[in-house]
Amino acid sequence: MSGPDIVTAPSLDYPTGTPPNEASPRRPHSISSARRAQANLQLLMPYVYVFVLTVAILILDPRLLVGPGALGAFFSLVAPLAFVAFGQTLALLTRGVDLSVGGVISLVTALLATHLNAKGPLIGLEVLAVIAIGVIIGWLNGLMIVLTGMQPFIVTLATWSIADGIAFAVLPIEGGTVSPTLINALSGAILGIPKSVLIVVGLFGLWFVVRRTRFIRDIVAIGSDESRSNLLGVPVRRQKVRAYIACAALAALAGIYLTVQAQSGSPDAGDQFILNSIAAVVLGGASIFGGKGSAASSIVGAIAFLLIPDLVFALGLTSYWSIFFQGFILIVAVTFNSAVQSRARTT
Amino acid sequence: MSDLSGGFRRNSAIVLAFVVAGVLFLFGSIYAVDFASVAHIRTILITASFTGFVGVGQTLCMLTGGIDLSIPSVLAGAALVTANLANGVTSRLTWVIPLVLVAGILVGLLNGLGVAYAGVPPIIMTLGMSGAIQGLLLIYTNGGFASSPPESIVNFVTGDTVGIPNVVLVWAVISAVTIIGLSWAVFGRKLYAVGTNPVAAFLAGINVRRILLVPYAVSGLTAALAGVLLLGFYGQAFTDMGNDFLFSSAIAVAVGGASILGGRGHYVGTIAGAIVLTLITADLDVLSLGTAAVDIAYGIILIAAVYFGGRKLGRRRVAS
């Protein structure tokens, strides 16, 4: 038989959940320093993307980024995606994926624009309630994944559909009214810095605070080699459930911010965040095979992803082109990412 | 019949899916007077056939452990391009339809190349492809809407031959081809082999990558076909027209007893799954429950079908 060595066939990596030949190359301890340098380089790439896109936009049409209020407006688009990208990074680190973020966001916006829009301090409790809904959906995702062994994309596809259905029952079409207290709390600026910028910077910084925690180190280990982590005493099931809870809770936070930004709710507001969050994480250099990634890089990836529409506008193209480019760039980035990963795994 | 591979004969889930379809039909018939009327049965079969078309590609993809999320975009794209290029002129369909179907195959091949050769997880590859196509469609149609397809295509889709709706006849032919391809052709054997265990398939001398291209190419073709026919059915085309088929195709396959891990399942099950889904929508309609209830029901059914389907597989589990 002529053909490459079995392990080198990348097609063997995905088709059946468990790679049938989980050989040593992926074990954390065997990562050579050269490969670790390559991994770090990938996590730095989103900064390069942002730099290049920013320079291009500044040359073509600087008003898009430096005009009055432009920065705050741009970051108000980044903020919800930054939340989801942070959560999606956690799901991808465990070697999973969370499609239900779309349903969670839609459900949260629908609720906050209809039943949960109190004026005054009561809104605080209502915000806690929608975060709790996110936590419950994430907990159900995690529980079904670890207890039944079903693939994450199937479980979260189902909960996406269920959450979308509930959102649709709550608010069939875009509209509703949002609590003015909530709008005041999240819009505007503090000391001249737009709150949207502070939120994104805060989330970015949060990663450097949490990345050394037991939880993050455990899910990185799980994503690198689940059975080995299990043998080493990592509480695999508990940490995986926590990752999905965190992901859905962050999606709920994104939904809260999105409701304020749109000042209305929509039963399909969340759907675009599925593709966008995965794209942000992939542009951020995280491995789609789990075990490697940085939420901070994913947030920078989100910024790069959302600079694309600005570049399209600066180039004088219709906004439809940005939808094309955003999908196209996900394909290119993920193909590149996979090719690098599968080579790294077999050398 | 002893030659059927991959668990068509062995898979009691397929039988169960047909039983469930029967129960759902009985339930609707008891609740609503004209549920069992010929006209309503025709409607159910026509509606199910569209899920059945896209279900061909989705079955093949899921047999290899993958999934095609670009079906809605390819479907809408085929409808929009057909409506625009034909521009109401019937004679143009002779080149427009083949062109659109080939374009569907090409999109599928791109998905397949990413999955089989670059090793991209199918879910991310096809999601990205879906986004890119949506963008192209919006640019091409300047907003994503096209109306007034040629009369002939509307007449064909809504018409009958010997008392059977044409769409259902098309479905019957495609089903026959798919069943033969999966059960009696060498290709089917190889597909099941790859889906069950790619390493073993590779060692047995199968070109795993080339086999992995086929499901995505077929899925592009069947989604494009569904789009062309749905254009005739709706009398118009719009970018969201395929959205329902994202869930319904995957769920029809899962309800039909296929394993999400690949290697187990059959298009016969998907046929039952498509009918079950259509009957659920019809039953919820009888109970005056709308879109929201359908979405919720789909989610619950997907989990239940995959869970019970997975248990039948014995101990094969996923790492993630």
| Residue A232 CB-density burial (10 A; 0-12 exposed, 13-18 middle, 19+ buried) | exposed
Q: Between chains, do A14 and B124 touch, taking CB under 8 Å as contact?
A: no
Q: What is the mean pLDDT of residues B65-93?
A: 87
Residue B317 structure tokens: 């589990």
How many residue contacts between A and B have a Cβ separation below 8 Å?
A: 219
Q: Where are the domains of chain A?
A: 52-346
Give the three-class secondary structure for A189.
Answer: strand
Domains and CATH numbers, chain B: 12-312 (1.10.3470.10)
Q: Are B57 and B220 in contact (CB under 8 A)?
A: yes
Q: Are A287 and A219 in contact (CB under 8 A)?
A: no
pLDDT confidence of residue A347: 41
Q: Are B99 and B204 in contact (CB under 8 A)?
A: no
Q: What is the mean pLDDT of residues B216-227?
A: 94
- Please tell me whether the interface predicted TM-score (ipTM) of this complex is above 0.90: no
pLDDT confidence of residue B20: 82
Residue A309 structure tokens: 């529409």
pLDDT confidence of residue B7: 47
Nearest to A6 among B116, B119, B202 (CB): B202
Q: Are A261 and A115 in contact (CB under 8 A)?
A: no
Q: Between chains, do A151 and B318 touch, taking CB under 8 Å as contact?
A: yes
Identify the DSSP state of A7. G
Residue B309 structure tokens: 């389907």
Phi, psi of A223 (to 5 degrees): -65, -30
pLDDT confidence of residue A33: 62
Q: What is the mean pLDDT of residues B174-191?
A: 87
Q: Between chains, do A278 and B208 touch, taking CB under 8 Å as contact?
A: no
pLDDT confidence of residue B162: 81
Q: How many angstroms away from the CA of B83 is the closest CA of chain A?
A: 20
Q: What would the pLDDT profile of B261-273 be if each residue is shown by its tens digit?
A: 667 778 888 888 8
How far is residue B117's CA from residue A97's CA, in Å, rounded to a whole number?
A: 22
Of all residues in chain B, what percent carry a pLDDT higher than 70? 91
Identify the DSSP state of A191. T
Q: Between chains, do A158 and B66 touch, taking CB under 8 Å as contact?
A: no
CB atoms within 10 A of CB B163: 7
Q: Between chains, do B300 and A155 touch, taking CB under 8 Å as contact?
A: no
Phi, psi of A265 (to 5 degrees): -115, 165
pLDDT confidence of residue A254: 94
DSSP H or E run through B161: strand B160-161
Q: Between chains, do A338 and B263 touch, taking CB under 8 Å as contact?
A: no
pLDDT in tens for each of the 347 residues of chain A?
A: 343 333 333 333 333 434 444 444 444 444 556 666 666 777 788 888 888 888 888 888 877 777 777 788 888 889 999 999 999 999 999 988 899 999 999 999 999 888 877 777 777 788 899 999 999 999 999 999 888 877 888 889 889 989 988 998 888 878 777 777 778 777 777 877 888 889 999 999 999 988 888 888 888 888 888 888 888 878 888 889 999 999 999 999 999 999 988 888 888 888 889 888 988 998 888 887 878 888 989 999 999 999 988 888 888 888 888 888 888 888 888 888 777 766 655 44
Q: Between chains, do A331 and B299 touch, taking CB under 8 Å as contact?
A: no
Contacts of B133 in chain A (CB under 8 A): 327
DSSP assignment of A140-204: HHHHHHHHH---HHHHHHHHHHHHHHHHHHH-SSSB----HHHHHHHSSEETTEEHHHHHHHHHH
Residue B314 pLDDT exceeds 50: no
Interface of B with A in 195-234 (CB under 8 A): 195-199, 202-203, 205, 208-209, 212
Q: What is the mean pLDDT of residues B278-291?
A: 80
Contacts of A278 in chain B (CB under 8 A): 124, 127
CATH 1.10.3470 applies to domain A52-346: yes
Residue B4 pLDDT exceeds 70: no
Residue A7 structure tokens: 């392990």
Nearest by Cα to A120 from A186, A185, A187: A185
Residue B203 pLDDT exceeds 70: yes
Q: Between chains, do B299 and A160 touch, taking CB under 8 Å as contact?
A: yes
pLDDT confidence of residue A3: 38
Phi, psi of A30 (to 5 degrees): -95, 0
- Name the closest residue on chain B to residue A155, using Cα atoms: B303
pLDDT confidence of residue A163: 92
User: In the block, which residue shows the tokens 């990596």?
Assistant: A13
Q: Are A194 and A72 in contact (CB under 8 A)?
A: yes
Q: Between chains, do B295 and A14 touch, taking CB under 8 Å as contact?
A: no
Of all residues in chain B, what percent carry a pLDDT higher than 90? 21
Q: Are A322 and A72 in contact (CB under 8 A)?
A: no
Maximum separation of any 2 CA atoms in chain B, in Å = 58
Residue B317 pLDDT exceeds 50: no
- Beta-sheet pairing, A193-194 with A189-190: antiparallel
B145 forms beta bridges with B238
DSSP assignment of B181-210: HHHTSHHHHHHHHHHH-HHHHHHTT--HHH
Residue A324 structure tokens: 């094309």
Q: How many angstroms away from the CA of B160 is the closest CA of chain A?
A: 35
Q: How many angstroms away from the CA of A68 is the closest CA of chain B?
A: 30
E strands of A115-252, at which residues? 189-190, 193-194
Q: Are A49 and A301 in contact (CB under 8 A)?
A: yes
Residue A337 structure tokens: 């990412």
Q: Determine contact: B240 vs chain A, CB below 8 A.
A: no
pLDDT confidence of residue B11: 65
- Name the closest residue on chain B to residue A321, using Cα atoms: B135
Contacts of A158 in chain B (CB under 8 A): 298-300, 302-303, 306
pLDDT confidence of residue A178: 77
Q: Are A337 and A41 in contact (CB under 8 A)?
A: no
Most A-contacting residue of B295, B296, B312 (CB-CB within 10 A), to test interface? B295
Interface of B with A in 102-141 (CB under 8 A): 114-125, 127-136, 138-139
Nearest to A288 among B124, B209, B317 (CB): B124
Higher pLDDT residue, A185 or B98?
Answer: B98
